[in-house]
Amino acid sequence: MGLGRMAEALLEPWIADGLIAPEAIRAVVGSAASRDRWATATLAGQSLRVSTESREAWDAPVVLLAVKPQQLEGVAAAALQKATEDQGKGLLISILAGVRLDRLRQLFPSRTCVRAVVNTPALVRQGLTALAWADAPAPEARDWVEQLFRRVGDVWTLPEPQLDAFLALTASGPAFVALMVEALADGAVAAGLPRALAQTLAPRTLSGTAALLEGKALHPGQLKDMVSSPAGTTLAGLRELERAGLRSALLEAVLAAAERSRALA
């Protein structure tokens, strides 16, 4: 239900890995233009059935809810009509930010609801996903949903109150990191590197550092000390970062994103 970029990022590996057959997927989009685009487009080399009619889609045993928040009420109306016909039962997986489980349960009373907070590195199968269930799921349903999201990265099951912090760190975090990468590249250009080389080296520096932290199970402070020689270049740079308040700014950015997530809900 909804076929934007994140829905595509999830469906593509599920189809490519054979978890879901393309002929078992029915996609519903909000406009004729989107429907017509999918008449020639493919995912994982496979065509999909795409329509603008949502009512019949609620016969499906599993619905991936990926619409815009302002479309939620209209989508729910069709689902509720199906539910009154003793249809439309099954599993609802929502990737909508800021829509709480109690709201989903109210709008889709015949469905078993699970919220999934997944971040954009899922596009390259490096995602981080948190799942929160409205009710205790059947073990086979829980395992199946976790298997789906493991195809795009790592998965945690969390209490719903922790999803705002998870979102602030993992879903908003890539923007904070991208800003840092951009600034590092600009600094390298200012110091004399060609722009193209700086823009290549900055993300590679980040990914290599992350791999070292994870691969050697290092605390960030340990790695910082490893590359900080007495009176050396790194300490000179660290002094400037501390003077500018980088540490505090990042902490406050995550807190602000978490508070905004709570407010939107």
Domain-embedded: residue 164: no
Average pLDDT of the residues in 11-28: 92
* Whole-structure pTM value: 0.89
Assess whether pLDDT exceeds 90 at residue 73.
no
**Which domain range does residue 209 map to?**
173-264
Residue with tokens 């990265």: 153
Q: Residue 120 is encoded by which pair of tokens?
A: 């954009």
Assess whether pLDDT exceeds 60 at residue 56.
yes
178 and 153 inside one domain: no
Domain-embedded: residue 165: no
Instruction: Give the domain-ending residue among 94, 129, 158.
Output: 158
Gap between the Cα atoms of 6 and 136, Å rounded? 26
pLDDT band at 127 (very low <50, low <70, confident <90, very high): very high
Structural contact between residues 218 and 212, judged by C-beta atoms closer than 8 angstroms: yes
Domain-embedded: residue 163: no
Structural contact between residues 134 and 160, judged by C-beta atoms closer than 8 angstroms: no
Give pLDDT, residue 85: 57
Sheet holding 90-94, edge to edge: 62-65, 90-94, 111-118, 127-133, 153-157
Domain CATH for 136: 3.40.50.720
Domain-embedded: residue 147: yes
Tell how strand 90-94 and strand 111-118 pair up: parallel
Domain CATH for 184: 1.10.3730.10
pLDDT band at 59 (very low <50, low <70, confident <90, very high): confident
Gap between the Cα atoms of 3 and 21, Å rounded? 17
> How many domains is the chain partitioned into structurally?
2
Structural contact between residues 227 and 208, judged by C-beta atoms closer than 8 angstroms: no
pLDDT digits 0-9 by tens, 236-248: 999 999 999 999 9
Average pLDDT of the residues in 108-113: 90
Average pLDDT of the residues in 32-46: 89
Instruction: Give the domain-ending residue among 158, 193, 215.
Output: 158
144 and 110 inside one domain: yes
